[in-house]
Structure 1
Amino acid sequence: MAFKENYDSGETELKSKTSQDSPIHCSIDEDHPCDDGLPPIDGGRHAWLFLLASAMLEALVWGYAFSFGIFQKYYSTHEPFQGSNNIAAIGTCAMVGIAYLIAPLPIIGMILLPQIARWVSTIGVILMCVSLALSSFSTSVTHLILSQGIGFGVGGSLAYTPSILFMSEWFVKRKGLAFGVVWSGSGLSGVLFPLAIEWLLDRYGVPTTLRISSVGLFLLSIPFLYFHRPRIPVSHAVVQRRLNFRFLYSKVFLIYQIGNTVQALGFFLPTIYLPTYASQMGVNELLSSLTVILFNVTSVFGSIIIGFLSDRYHVTTCLLITTAGSVISVFFIWGFSSNLWSLYVFCIVYGLLAGGYSSTWSSIAHEVQHANPATDFSVIFPFMETGRGIGNVVSGPLSEALLKADGWQSHAWGTYGSRYGTIVLWTGITALIGGIAVMARYLKCV
């Protein structure tokens, strides 16, 4: 009898604790997912449709943004932008950097105002499409930075960040793989967007291309927005617990974030400059654009593979794989390449290994959460994107400065002897530092 009373008391206490701590109306922990009539976790029609919608929005936002190298090549050789400074800043600083940089803000807004969470992605799609339409009237690089860059970046961030908040409701045990599938969406669209943008620019010019892009992205998004929704409503009662930011000062988070931010300082530079570099070899537009296409294709597989591995192995093991592959491909393949085919080999290897780096974020967030139990996963994750955004914002003007430091030009072999030699060196060094957590774990710092 005494045993039963103690058991009942313990069970009541456990239920009370679960009720107070859970960020949603029922438990979705890995061992005991709830069964209250809601769609199932980690599978089922509703979960897969949500994942498909998330991957599609990811594809439209990032696939278009990562294809900016095609625009940059066109802007650099056509009026009214030919000879303008800071063209690279449109893509690296604004279009991509802003979308990453402000990622925590939509998440915080959706937690504080859960009733708007369902509509944030719709608002984002509308904003980024309107921004592209407005950019078609630009007559200076400043106009492009504000519209195609910042406007698209803010809209894109609103369009895809609900995936981060809702993912913890739909996937638990397969979360790393689910995020890997979502990130791979940008790689799939990255196969088609460069070709489509190249063709449109050659046939119709910049204004019409941007207007067609605006309408096209909107029409492609419409069928998927309905399924981009939460599994369970978010409760106002747990706002204070979910918005705990003490992890920002923890040693574990800082080590992972340093590697993440530094890696981003060089990660995007190859896709920005490779089309232009390939064109200088005397190849046509299609063959030069193929560099970006190959990177995007292989990054699809890289994202899924690293995401799959992150569900099964410690995150530093995955970081070791992506870091080692990135460093070797940059220093030895891109650095010593002297023809188009070696550039293609680099794009394949770099996309496959470096392209999966962001698929480690889910496991990194779990490591940080393990060290800071009061923090919610959905709050940690977007700050990893902020670190990537900081790297993007800095890499734009930094890359312009690196191109001016041409002390190696004509004094070294392969790409090292071109005006892009310093870009190669910088990309390789930042990729190496991106794996700092591997050494930190060896030294028992994480």
Structure 2
Amino acid sequence: MSPASRQPGERDPLLPKDVTTPQEEAAPDAGQQVYTPGASPAKADSSREAWLFLAACWVVEAFVFGFGLSFGVFQDYYSSHPPFAGANNIAAIGTTTTGILYMGTPLVIALCRRLPHAARWFTLAGLLVASLSLAASSMCVTVPQLIAVLGVPFGLAGCFAFCPCIIYIDQWFIKRKSLAMGIMFSAGGFGGVVFPPLLERMLRELGFASTMQIWAGVTCIATVPLAYYIKPRQIDTSDEHTGLLSMRCLGSRVFALYQLANLIQAAGYFLPAIYLPLYARVALNASDTQSVLALIVLNCATTIGCVAMGALADHWHPTTCGAVSALGATLSTALLWGFSSSLPALYTFCVAYGLFAGGWPSIWPEVMSEVARRAERAGHGYTDPLAVYSLLVLGRGIGNMVSGPLSDWLVHGAAAHGHSGIGYAGVFGPMIAFTSVTGLLSGMNLLWKYFGWL
């Protein structure tokens, strides 16, 4: 066979078998990275495929986490409309959803690592189950039923839908990873801006059952087609069937201090988003529209805060970013919310709190790198940054789950009492104080860095 008649890459039959061609030497062995269609993966950071991936992740994040951030609308509705009015643990519905979204992350990411080819379909399956959960919740008439049918399944399904985004963004964005994650995390805040007025009007005009059925259809139509774009830039089969997350970072003091601050921040962070509409209506006699506007302003500021903090985290040390977030959250809660006597003052708090406290997750990429680098330097061996991320998300979920029952205790019977006291003087005073203290303590890593512990 002449060289001209052979296909590109075809082996010359006259070549001895023990002689290896350059093409064969460059070919991947079993267990090495196998790239998705084409001779080479699409370019990271700047390719069309990378930005389509990020856009799809953004929409999924908006519907999964944006629904959780809109729970304040449902909290206000459940507290004042039958058959849920007067029931206990209403806040646990929302905190169960968001808590499981966070706490399930380590397990789902480990599954994605163990089954890299199957993980490609996790987003699609999760979005379908989440839509079914929303539709099924329309038949619930008690709080425990809502927790079982909506809180738990939606949280798990959303976790399966979103975790592939976290794994694949590490492949699609390398040089500007913190910015990309900040953009992706901002989608939850955007959903929290757009969804509350829609849901509030639907609840008011259509009732609970019809609202949940319609929202299930909207979620399915808007997200399921985009699952096609949430795919890996490259598939690494070297971890298949064995790719569990390495948890060596658990023995690192650096990780322990970052995780402690993360838990404390989460314990107080979610409370304003849950109670602001109820607070505005009960304490400030706001209308339904004015009450929902507080949540919209908060989530809008959170969207901006995520992107801004992501950009800062690419240049600043994570302890500095954490201290900025903590200081802004503490001052805005203690002064603006604690002494607010009007809706404009409350809206000002929402802007400040969203900008500073809302950007916290955008610090995580740099925390991941810092913990991995310091853990290896301390002799803990290779530390998987994705394991660090999973544990940080788990910590945020634990803090969120704790905040549900705790907030119900702190604001026991607020709606039933109809107390008009504002800020610290009203029944919401203990919750405002708690949010202020947790915000302050979340910035303690800057102090530990000053003493040389970080």
Task: Please tell me whether the aligned partners of residues 411 and 417 of structure 1 are also in contact (alpha carbons under 8 angstroms).
Answer: no
Partner SS, residue 233 of structure 1 = strand
Q: Does 1:399 align with 2:407?
A: yes
Corresponding residue for residue 325 of structure 2: 322
Corresponding residue for residue 225 of structure 1: 227
Question: Residues 191 and 175 of structure 1: is their aligned pair in 2 closer, same or farther, counting only changes over 3 Å?
Answer: same
Q: 2 CA distance for matches of 1:370 and 1:344? A: 41
Write out aligned runs for 1:130-141 (5 A): 130-141=132-143
Write out aligned runs for 1:99-248 (5 A): 99-237=101-239, 243-248=245-250
Corresponding residue for residue 292 of structure 1: 295
Partner SS, residue 419 of structure 1 = coil
1:246 maps to a residue whose letter is R
Q: How far did residue 183 of structure 1 move?
A: 0.5
1:236 maps to a residue whose letter is S
Deviation readout 1:308-352 (Å, 9 max, x if unpaired) = 111111111111111110010010110010111100000000001
Corresponding residue for residue 272 of structure 1: 274
Task: Please tell me whether the aligned partners of residues 101 and 397 of structure 2 are also in contact (alpha carbons under 8 angstroms).
Answer: yes
Corresponding residue for residue 97 of structure 1: 99
TM-score (norm 1): 0.89
2:132 maps to a residue whose letter is V
Corresponding residue for residue 370 of structure 2: 367
Question: Residues 264 and 39 of structure 1: is their aligned pair in 2 closer, same or farther, counting only changes over 3 Å?
Answer: same
Q: 2 CA distance for matches of 1:193 and 1:75? A: 17
Corresponding residue for residue 423 of structure 1: 431
2:229 maps to a residue whose letter is F
1:290 maps to a residue whose letter is L
Corresponding residue for residue 440 of structure 2: 432
Corresponding residue for residue 308 of structure 2: 305
Task: Please tell me whether the aligned partners of residues 421 and 427 of structure 2 are also in contact (alpha carbons under 8 angstroms).
Answer: no
Corresponding residue for residue 8 of structure 1: none
Partner SS, residue 120 of structure 2 = helix
Q: How far did residue 288 of structure 1 move?
A: 0.5
Question: Residues 414 and 80 of structure 1: is their aligned pair in 2 closer, same or farther, counting only changes over 3 Å?
Answer: closer
Q: How far did residue 376 of structure 1 move?
A: 2.1
Task: Please tell me whether the aligned partners of residues 128 and 224 of structure 2 are also in contact (alpha carbons under 8 angstroms).
Answer: no
Corresponding residue for residue 257 of structure 2: 255
Q: 1 CA distance for matches of 2:117 and 2:329? A: 42
Corresponding residue for residue 61 of structure 1: 64
Q: How far did residue 243 of structure 1 move?
A: 2.4
Q: 2 CA distance for matches of 1:132 and 1:189? A: 16
Q: How far did residue 383 of structure 1 move?
A: 1.4
Q: How far did residue 240 of structure 1 move?
A: 5.6
Deviation readout 1:205-258 (Å, 9 max, x if unpaired) = 111111111111010002311111110002234776762111122111110000
Q: 2 CA distance for matches of 1:405 and 1:191? A: 27
Q: 1 CA distance for matches of 2:243 and 2:452? A: 29
| Structure index of larger Rg | 2
Q: 1 CA distance for matches of 2:413 and 2:82? A: 26
Task: Please tell me whether the aligned partners of residues 63 and 191 of structure 2 are also in contact (alpha carbons under 8 angstroms).
Answer: yes
1:379 maps to a residue whose letter is A
Task: Please tell me whether the aligned partners of residues 361 and 381 of structure 1 are also in contact (alpha carbons under 8 angstroms).
Answer: yes
Q: 1 CA distance for matches of 2:313 and 2:194? A: 28
Q: How far did residue 405 of structure 1 move?
A: 10
Q: How far did residue 128 of structure 1 move?
A: 0.9
Partner SS, residue 303 of structure 2 = helix
Q: 2 CA distance for matches of 1:291 and 1:236? A: 49
2:448 maps to a residue whose letter is A
1:211 maps to a residue whose letter is Q
Task: Please tell me whether the aligned partners of residues 302 and 352 of structure 1 are also in contact (alpha carbons under 8 angstroms).
Answer: yes
Task: Please tell me whether the aligned partners of residues 337 and 414 of structure 1 are also in contact (alpha carbons under 8 angstroms).
Answer: yes
2:406 maps to a residue whose letter is L
Corresponding residue for residue 76 of structure 1: 79
Give unmatched runs, 5+ long, in structure 2. 1-24, 377-381
Partner SS, residue 372 of structure 1 = helix
Corresponding residue for residue 30 of structure 1: none
Partner SS, residue 348 of structure 1 = helix
Number of aligned positions between the proteins: 417
Q: How far did residue 414 of structure 1 move?
A: 4.1
Q: How far did residue 146 of structure 1 move?
A: 0.9
1:204 maps to a residue whose letter is L
Corresponding residue for residue 445 of structure 1: 453
TM-score (norm 2): 0.88
Deviation readout 1:164-192 (Å, 9 max, x if unpaired) = 11111111111100100001111111111
Task: Please tell me whether the aligned partners of residues 279 and 288 of structure 1 are also in contact (alpha carbons under 8 angstroms).
Answer: yes
Question: Residues 363 and 149 of structure 1: is their aligned pair in 2 closer, same or farther, counting only changes over 3 Å?
Answer: same
Q: How far did residue 59 of structure 1 move?
A: 0.5
1:146 maps to a residue whose letter is A
Question: Residues 442 and 242 of structure 1: is their aligned pair in 2 closer, same or farther, counting only changes over 3 Å?
Answer: farther
Give unmatched runs, 5+ long, in structure 1. 1-15, 27-34
Corresponding residue for residue 388 of structure 1: 396
Q: 2 CA distance for matches of 1:360 and 1:23? A: 32
Corresponding residue for residue 13 of structure 1: none
Corresponding residue for residue 32 of structure 1: none
1:70 maps to a residue whose letter is V
Q: 2 CA distance for matches of 1:24 and 1:405? A: 57
Task: Please tell me whether the aligned partners of residues 328 and 353 of structure 2 are also in contact (alpha carbons under 8 angstroms).
Answer: yes
Task: Please tell me whether the aligned partners of residues 127 and 152 of structure 1 are also in contact (alpha carbons under 8 angstroms).
Answer: yes
